[in-house]
Structure 1
Amino acid sequence: MRKDEIVIDVITSQQSITLNLLREQKLIKQYMFKSKYNLSQISNRLCIVAMLRWAICENLNANFSITNFSLMNAEATYLKSEIGLLIDVMREKMGNTVKDYIPMLDYSKKESISLENRRFIDNTIALGFSNGKDSVCCQLLLKKSGYKIENFQFDFDDADFSHDFHTKYNVNDEMLAKKYSTQAIFLNNNVSYYQEEDMHIIYLAPILLSAHKGYYTKMACGVQWDMLSQNGKGITIAESFASMKNLIDLTKLMGFQNFGIILPISAISSFGVYRILSDEYGFSKLEDFNSCWISAETPCGSCTKCIRVKFTQDILKTCISGNFYTMLNIIEQNQIPVDFLFGSQNICKLLNNLNRENIRDISKDLYIKDIKPEYDAGFSKIIEKEYGFKEAKP
């Protein structure tokens, strides 16, 4: 199969980065990043490489040439590793036909750059804070563990660029974009697909802020067990352990030796997060944690996020009220496949294993043994002890 050639033209300044995707000199897509703060040379590079990963993995069905930016060996290795993870997931779902979608990457090489020595603060942690239920739960657990927390905000597709960081992309040619998109490849092969917004730029926030603050910290992120897999691969590739390890390895090679990612709620699912919040704030307060993708004020009730939130709250409510068997009706009447609704095959398997014998404990049978202790950092033990969670046995 002859693959189209896509040029990724990189345009940078101290506070913004733009990737233009061009086919035969015609603009197909444009990816943008903007910060309120100046980025250091290393921060700028890491952000560009994270955006290149986003652009390539989101538009897989082409060969790519990178212009106006030369990759070092470590950066090229990172990109190829991330593409490889996505190809592996596709191979599991599509078989050997996936070889038709493996891209070639053409770029100029950069021998070396001067690495920066930034001061590392150990007892402080950066937390991506949206005021949604995951970030509120993370903040609660981090405070109980004694961390000083630096909240920051990160927006996707907010035209006002109003927060600390902002990323978005514009589709300039819808038909061509669909031809190249990884999502279209999955759907054209009748394979369910779910991909959240790209996460690696968010994970880099402590590095991106380091030039402004004069130091960097570790990163805490509200990714639950739903979105992670035990073998390092998952339906949401941006949030797998293997993918995070690639980013951490690259960041350390760029001079941030103590950088790491902590996932305080990685031992539990969405149901567990809601149960912790209901224990702390009361069940009636759960509606205050608006995670709607459409409206920042009143939830729209119709987007996938709102449907997922209602589904989770309805199940938790049956547990708290003791009306356990209603839960089976909620699951049976759900119109959206659970793996797509949650972006998680893990949750799908958990719910598929519900029966009359174990349904009573669903809101507590959500503690999972540490899959990767270096990311969990002991939070599963805190959750188990303080909130009475038990190990799930799906």
Structure 2
Amino acid sequence: MDIKGRNMESIKIINRGEILKILYNNGQMSRKKIAELIGLTSAAITVNVKEMIEEGLIVETGEVEDTKRAGRKEINIDINYKYKYVIGVCIEQPDIIITLGRLNLDIVDVYRVPVQKGVGYRKVIEIIKDGISIILNRNSIERKDILGVGVGVIGEVDSTLGVSKNSFGIIEKNVPIKEELEKRLNMKVYIDNNVRTLALGEILSSKDNSNNESLLFIKYGFGVGSAIIIDNKIYSGNNNKAGEIGHTIVYPDGLECRCGKQGCLETIASMWAVGDRLQKIYSKDNTPILYEITSGNINDINKDTVLMAYELKDDLVVEIVDEALYYFCLSLENYISLLDPSRIILYGSMFEKDIIIEKIKNIFVEKIKDDAVIEKLQRSQNNGQLEKIGPISIVVDRFISNGGYL
């Protein structure tokens, strides 16, 4: 193809992408309205829409209401969200989650498989391959009806090469996940860091039209992760390491982190770090409420029992959790100073507890002396769901932005 031909093809993809993004964010509307919003001629809209209707990607949904004018009625169009299915895979502990969904991020089915640290990539690939077969068979769906597979992997990921560089021990380092899965599945596969996929899922599901908004997305749970969103796009950095708030150093010469460094935020503020500290002091005398909740079984110390003991004001539990939250807030304050986000989205079961949110606000006001942060803090609108929605979003975002092509 000559240069002119390539340029025309690029323009076509851009125009189709703009049409699909308008419909995805705003819902059904007429061709005329779309032309007004994106500045294309009616002829250009008509040609592109006609092509996408023939492909089954766009459908006509009926006449526009209240046009109040004589002549030919305007017809609304919308994305055909049943055009294809999408599969999402979330690789982290304690489960690999395989999700079947639609282009509008509606979840059709979910399949979970427990996974242990050190399971190895060959086993993980087989789990994913078998899980996808199971989920397709029980929904009577053929592989040709799958648009693609999005994979979110914990740790450092090169999304361009499709390589998991360091999953903190779940699988080996430098595994070409994209290549391995595409060989076995015969489907298009796209991967990214798990927290970045969650952030993308939050953006797409919100249908937010603010194209110039910058956000900080925080996941707090077993580990502490974050993603940076600039102009509604995920920022990965030069080496795909941007946003690793959990691996910023807060306690030099502190404990060794699972990433290999010492004194990372995760070694103090994560739930695994809190649990580890509590196990060392756990007793009927030291942690009486936690001891009673867990019936004296140290193996039952987990996120839920710790939060329960915290709410019931078990003194040493409160002390350790409050210290974790203090260091978390310090790191968050540093990120805010560098990035100046318009909003900070908080994701994870920790943030579902009002007592935790109030403590975080108190730390910012009383200790850090930055009460302006309070107005920026928002709970995710998808708490508990983004591990399913996020990986699907990788495929959907690429498909919509590329004008219905992968």
Band the TM-score falls in, shorter-chain normalisation: under 0.3
When the two structures are superposed, what TM-score results if normalisation uses the length of structure 2? 0.27
State the structure with more CA Rg.
Answer: 2
